[in-house]
Every structure is written in C-alpha cells, then in structure tokens.
C-alpha cells in the first residue's frame, strides 16, 4: 500500500484549524474586554485628575485674590508711605500668616512705589537685599520684575522664566494690584510658585508620570512649561503648540508631531479663563497598558504555539497506523535503514559530541585558571568559571607556585601536564602554561597546606617538571591563602619571588610580612580611578590619585622585591594605556624601576611627569576633536539653513551630540543662539534673491525655508523695517 505524502499534512491542517480559530475568537474578546476598556479607564483617570488640579488652582487663585483685597483694605495708602510707621511694621507678619494657610505655600512680594522697602514672606527687605534674595534664591533679576510691577493694572499671570538671568522656567507668577481709590494703583502683590511646587501639586493628583505641564492664560498665550517631577522641561515641539491652542473643553486628545504620538490632557477654568494641559508621549501615558499588552501577546503566542504542537502531535499519532505499512526509508546511496538503525546513528553522533567536549575541557580549565590567577571581579563570576571547567576544590587552603624551566623549547611537551601528573599525595594540583612567558607554568595547589611544607612541595614540583640536567629548573612560591579570591595575590607573590631569587636558589619562597603591609598589589580602587581620570583628561584628580598610590607604595611596601615588582607593573600599565589612547610617550626618558628605596623619589617624580603628560595628550586630542566638530557643524548649517525642517534637534541628532552642546558651539562661533542665527541667514538670503532675481515673494519664501508667507513677511519686516515688496522697490530705486 502506497501512502500519499500529503496525508500527514492533511491531518495537521485539520487539527490546526480546529484549535486556532477558537483561539483567534477568544483573543479578540479578551483584547476588547481588557486592553481597550483599560485604556478608556486610564484616559478617564487622567481627565478626572487634571480636573482636580484645575479645581485646586482655582481655589488657590481665589484665596490669593482675597488676600490681595484684604491687604489693600487693611493698609491705607498713607500707612504704606515711607515716612509712616504703625501698621507698616505688621505687613510682613500678615503676609507670612496668610501665605502659610495655602498649600503649597507661595513666595509673596508686597511692593509699593513710594516705599524704599519690599515686604516678603522672608521679612522686610531693602532694594539691594531684595535684589540679592531674588538672584540667589530664584535666579531672577529685580529690574525685569519691577518693570512689570510698575505697569500692573489688573490680575496678571506669567512665567518667571522671562525674568530670570538664564534659560529655563523657574516658576509661575500671579500678580494683583493693590486696590486703592485712586485710578492709578500705587502697589502690587506678587505670588511666586516655583517649578518644584507646581510639579508636586500636579504629581499629588495625577501621579508620578513622565510629562510636561503647560499653562495658558485666557488669551491662549503659554505662560508656563515645566516638568511633572518639579524640574524644568524642554519646550514641546513647535508643531504641537498650534494643536494645543486649538483644543476645546476638558478631555484627552491625541496629537502627532515629529513622527511621535503625544497625549494631551486638557481642562479650562471657567472662573479665571486659565487652561491647564498635561502633555506626554503616548508610550509614557499608557505605560501600564503597554506591559499588559505585552503579557497578552506573550500569552496568545504561547497558546498558539501549544495549538501548533498539539496539532503536530495529533497528526503524527493518527498517521502512525498508516506509517507501519511502509517502515523503511530510502537514502541517496540506495541503502535501506530501519528506525532502530537511525536511532543508533543518533546515539553515535551524541558519543562523538561528548568526545569533542572532553577534548575541549582542558581549554575551558585553562581559561578558568587564568581568571583565578588574574583575579576574578566577583565571587559569582569565579563560581561560574569553576563549574564550567568541572574543577573540584576539596580543601580550604590554596597556594600558587610558578615553575620555570629556562631550557624549555618546542620539543618538550606541555609542562602543565607534567605538573598535574606529579606525585603529590593529599593535594589537588591544577596547572597552566603561561603562554606569554615561555618556559613558565603556574600550579594551583589545594590541600591542608602548612608553611613548613612549602619547600618540600616546591622541590617535588621541580623534580616533576625537570627533564634536563639537575638544577636547571627553579620554582617561585607564593603565600598560603584561605580562598580562591586570594590566589591572585599568591600568584603575584610567586612571580615576584621567582624574579628576584638568588643565583644559587632553586626554590624561592615568598616570606609573609606582618599584617597591614602591602602584599604584591597597589590599591585597586585608586588605580582604577587613576585610569579613568587620565582617560577623561582630568589632571587634578589624576595627580591626586597618583600621589595616593605613591604614598601607599612608599609607606606599606615591605621589601625591595615587592617594590620592584609593583612599580614595574605600574609603569607597564600606564604605558599600555598610552598606547591604547595613541599618545606618544618616549620610554627612554624614564629610568628603570627602583632597585632600592633610595631611588624611589626619583621614580615618583617620573611617574608624576608621565601622568601629567598622558592627561595633556588626552586634552589635546579632545581640543582637536572639538575644533573639527565646530567646523563641521557650522559648515552643515551654512549649507542647510534653507531647509524648512532644519531644527536644533535635527542638527544635534545628525552629529550625535546633545542640544545643549550644540547651543554652546553655535554661541561660541556666532555669539547668537540657534533660531536667531538661522533667521539672520535666511533674511540675508532672501534679500539677495529680492535684489538679484525676479522670483516671486511666495517662491522666495519656500526657497529660504519657510512654509508660511505671513510668518516670513512678519520676520522680514522686523529685521528690515519694511515688507519684502517694499524692500525690492527701495533697492530698485538705488536705495
């Protein structure tokens, strides 16, 4: 009986359809009931929260207005004159008491044109004291603030960013004229809420979300933009501002700008005409929903995979009776094999794989030993390497010995293998050939070791490794340590002992020094900080850390042997860093590492010079890169300023730098900011086209990078004092 190849496929397809179609229907119902309704609930929560913020702000503004009326009624015009006393002295206490009734409590300034003092929540202040207070606490300038106070005729709301010494919104100002019978108000009271207070107020009702707070006055003029967490926030994309001003009523709206989707939650106060808006990226606004979506998709995928596997198993199970009718399979070489033969081939391939792993295990062991001897950074990392290498350590004491055979050549087999086969009773021995140091191998011993045993053990290792004449092989022995983490120190000790052994010695022991002395390594934390400070070109930090390392070596180094080894390692590491940073350093200008403590001060001076030279090289490299970047940026702007989509973000993204860094470059080169500089270039180009071509004004508008003719004409008139058409006619008449 011949079985069709499509039989199993037909079984699979039928079972797959039966399992997947119900899954699709169930997934749609779950998505509608969970994801969509959850999104509606989150949106409703945002709208409810922004409405509570509006109610709270209305309450605050009403109380501030009442406080202004109270102060105006309580203190007559004559009582606030400079020569008057009496109630004038209690104005500050009234301000402090009334301000404490509000949460959050604002900073209050009571200003009168006839007085030489300003009354604040902090107390009475003279003009110089008030100016210092504004500059120190709020970064505001008194002159700019007083210019608005002197013209205050009605309730006013504005951002304090227009009155700061630098960029960025520092808060929101609410200003009220003091009510006097005279037509011209003689004073004003100002309430300042900082960005932190506004951020906390919004966070109390809405929660800690990543978004921007925007406040518009009754004329839809933006008066504040800040961050939800109380800090400053970057201004929203210009493409969004027009859309935000067109929103009506209270609700949640979706806007798009610069390829991103934004969510705006907006409400309007009927009492004050002020509108409040919370602007977030859609991904941030619905972050909990995104996690729920991910769980839903993972669950659906797992169910689909389960349906797929079950369909395959059911198809194979139903196909089995038919498959028994034709059990054999034909191969390309014409041979016939049954299922048991195929299973045997699979097992044979597994055996070959295990053989390959067994051959590769020494490589894994070598890698593990390298990490132990060079010092693994963390205990879990060390445990991982030991497990992968299948190494067993049965005892709590360790020691590292280095065997050196000067006559080692290619004809002699691996020394590490001979060391591991050496007859060492009651000891575990793992050995590693030091490939970068020919003729040397390191042996890691694990057992119940004692100091008195070390010379005998070293002699036995020497005998196991020596295949030449007697006395040609020597051993350096490190101190005994109580954990694998200490093996790196024992390894350094063995290297130092072997390097400075006596000429007649065949076994060089490291002699432990009293507790608290340096044991073959300089301070790791300080050394890491030294490398990082050199990489950053921070000469001050680098020199301070260098002094700490030199002091540690000078004060704690126990012997000349360790002194030579540590200073040699320090010079070598700094020279390798210089090579990596491509900083040319002439090694000939440095003397050899100190042979005794008398030469250490000369060595220390050379180390200071080397660190200073490396920092200078890094700073020169940074300076050259910075000048090259400035040239590229200014060249790009000079070629692209007529592009309508040119923006600060686009240029910074192109060169991979921050917007603040780009502002700094432009200001250094032009003494102007980005937008005024681009506007200047475009106006100069427009004047050139108006005088040297017959292009229509609307074509010139597009040619210099504008989409809106009215916007271009307004800016041109502000720049030249006339419209583009008037400018062309003026120049045509020889003007």
> What pLDDT is recorded for position 44?
87
Q: Which residues does residue 260 pair with via DSSP β-bridges, in sequence order?
A: 257
pLDDT in tens, 708-735: 888 888 888 888 888 988 888 888 887 6
> What pLDDT is recorded for position 199?
84
- Most confidently predicted of 201-205, 289-293, 403-407: 201-205
pLDDT (average), residues 196-202: 84
- Could you tell me the end-to-end alpha-carbon distance of the chain, in angstroms, rounded to an integer? 104
> What pLDDT is recorded for position 349?
66
Strand pairing class (123-126; 156-159)? unpaired
d(CA 304, CA 19): 9
Contact 171, 192 (CB under 8 A): yes
pTM of the model: 0.39
pLDDT of 113 over the 90 cut: no
d(CA 263, CA 236): 12
d(CA 515, CA 485): 18
Lowest mean pLDDT: which of 102-116, 163-177, 607-621, 668-682?
163-177
Instruction: Tell me the pLDDT band of 369, cut-offs 50, 70 and 90.
Output: confident
Better-predicted residue by pLDDT, 201 or 488: 201
pLDDT in tens, 228-276: 765 555 667 777 888 888 888 888 888 888 888 888 999 988 888 899 9
> What pLDDT is recorded for position 196?
83
> What pLDDT is recorded for position 11?
66
Handedness of CA 593, 596, 597, 601 (dihedral sign): negative
d(CA 498, CA 481): 18
Q: Three-state SS for 596?
A: coil
- Most confidently predicted of 565-569, 599-603, 724-728: 724-728
> What pLDDT is recorded for position 601?
79
Better-predicted residue by pLDDT, 366 or 6: 366
pLDDT in tens, 483-497: 888 887 788 778 777
> What pLDDT is recorded for position 265?
92
pLDDT (average), residues 378-387: 75
d(CA 600, CA 619): 29
Tokens of 128: 């110089």
Contact 552, 526 (CB under 8 A): yes
Q: Three-state SS for 274?
A: coil
d(CA 99, CA 101): 5
State residue 355 phi and psi, 5-degree precision: -65, -40
> What pLDDT is recorded for position 438?
64
> What pLDDT is recorded for position 267?
92
- Residue 43: cis peptide before it, omega within 30 degrees of 0: no
| Mean residue pLDDT across the chain | 75
pLDDT (average), residues 613-639: 84
Distances (CA, A) of 710 to 245, 576, 689: 19, 63, 18
Distance of CA 183 to the CA centre of its chain: 58
d(CA 171, CA 679): 29
> What pLDDT is recorded for position 204?
84
DSSP 8-state assignment for residue 71? H
d(CA 679, CA 683): 6
**Which of 42, 99, 35 is closest to 66 using CA atoms?**
99
- Most confidently predicted of 130-139, 409-418, 453-462, 658-667: 453-462
């Amino acid at each position: 009986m011949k079985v069709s190849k499509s039989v199993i496929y037909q079984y699979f397809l039928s079972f797959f359809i039966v399992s997947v179609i119900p899954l699709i229907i169930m997934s749609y119902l779950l998505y509608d009931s969970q994801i969509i309704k959850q999104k509606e609930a989150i949106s409703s929560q945002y709208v409810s929260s922004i409405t509570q913020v509006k109610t709270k702000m209305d309450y605050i503004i009403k109380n501030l207005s009442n406080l202004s009326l109270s102060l105006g009624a309580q203190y007559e015009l004559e009582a606030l004159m400079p020569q008057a006393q009496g109630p004038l002295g209690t104005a500050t206490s009234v301000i402090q008491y009334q301000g404490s009734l509000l949460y959050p409590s604002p900073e209050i300034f009571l200003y009168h044109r006839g007085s030489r003092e300003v009354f604040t929540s902090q107390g009475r202040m003279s003009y110089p004291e008030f100016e210092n207070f504004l500059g120190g606490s709020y970064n505001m300038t008194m002159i700019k603030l007083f210019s608005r106070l002197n013209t205050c005729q009605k309730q006013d709301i504005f951002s304090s960013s227009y009155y700061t010494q630098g960029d960025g919104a520092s808060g929101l100002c609410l200003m009220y004229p003091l009510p006097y019978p005279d037509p011209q108000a003689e004073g004003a009271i100002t309430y300042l809420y900082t960005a932190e207070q506004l951020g906390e107020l919004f966070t109390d009702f809405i929660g800690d979300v990543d978004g921007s707070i925007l406040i518009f006055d009754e004329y839809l003029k933006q008066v504040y933009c800040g961050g939800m967490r109380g800090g400053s926030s970057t201004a929203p994309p210009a493409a969004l501002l027009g859309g935000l001003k067109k929103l009506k009523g209270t609700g949640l709206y979706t806007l798009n700008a610069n390829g991103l989707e934004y969510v705006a939650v907006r409400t309007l106060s009927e009492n004050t005409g002020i509108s409040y808006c919370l602007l977030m990226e859609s991904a941030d606004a619905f972050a909990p929903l995104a996690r729920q979506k991910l769980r839903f998709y993972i669950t659906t995928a797992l169910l689909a995979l389960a349906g797929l596997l079950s369909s395959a198993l059911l198809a194979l199970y139903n196909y089995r009776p038919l498959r028994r009718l034709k059990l054999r399979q034909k191969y390309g070489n014409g041979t016939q094999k049954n299922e048991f033969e195929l299973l045997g081939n699979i097992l044979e391939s597994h055996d070959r794989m295990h053989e390959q792993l067994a051959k590769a295990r020494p490589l894994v062991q070598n890698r593990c030993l390298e990490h132990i001897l060079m010092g693994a950074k963390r205990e879990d990392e060390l445990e991982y390497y030991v497990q992968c290498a299948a190494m067993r350590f049965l005892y709590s004491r360790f020691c590292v010995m280095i065997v050196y055979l000067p006559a080692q050549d290619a004809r002699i087999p691996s020394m590490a293998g001979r060391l591991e086969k050496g007859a060492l009773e009651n000891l575990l021995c793992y050995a590693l050939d030091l490939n970068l140091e020919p003729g040397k191998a390191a042996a890691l011993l694990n057992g119940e070791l004692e100091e008195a045993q070390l010379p005998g053990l070293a002699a036995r290792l020497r005998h196991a490794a020596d295949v030449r004449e007697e006395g040609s092989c020597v051993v350096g022995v490190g101190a005994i340590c109580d954990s694998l983490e200490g093996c790196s120190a024992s390894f350094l000790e063995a290297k130092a002992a072997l390097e400075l052994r006596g000429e007649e010695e065949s076994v060089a022991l490291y002699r432990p020094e009293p507790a608290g002395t340096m044991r073959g390594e300089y301070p790791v934390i300080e050394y890491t900080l030294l490398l990082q400070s050199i990489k950053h070109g921070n000469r001050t930090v680098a020199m301070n850390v260098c002094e700490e390392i030199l002091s540690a070596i000078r004060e704690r180094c126990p012997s000349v042997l360790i002194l030579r080894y540590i200073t040699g390692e320090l010079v070598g590491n700094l020279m390798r860093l210089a090579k990596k940073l491509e900083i040319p350093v002439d090694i000939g200008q440095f003397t050899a590492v100190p042979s005794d403590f008398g030469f250490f001060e000369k060595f220390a001076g050379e180390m200071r010079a080397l660190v200073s030279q490396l920092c200078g090289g890094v700073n020169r490299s940074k300076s050259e890169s910075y000048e090259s970047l400035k040239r590229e940026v200014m060249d790009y702007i000079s070629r692209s300023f007529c592009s309508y989509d040119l923006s600060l973000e686009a240029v910074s993204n192109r060169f991979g730098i921050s917007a603040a860094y780009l502002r700094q470059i432009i200001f250094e080169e032009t003494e102007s900011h980005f937008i005024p500089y681009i506007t200047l270039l475009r106006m100069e180009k427009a004047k050139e086209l108006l005088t040297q071509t017959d292009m229509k004004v609307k074509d010139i508008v597009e040619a210099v990078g504008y989409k809106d003719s009215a916007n271009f004409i307004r800016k041109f008139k502000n720049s030249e004092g006339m419209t583009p058409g008037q400018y062309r006619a003026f120049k045509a008449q020889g003007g």
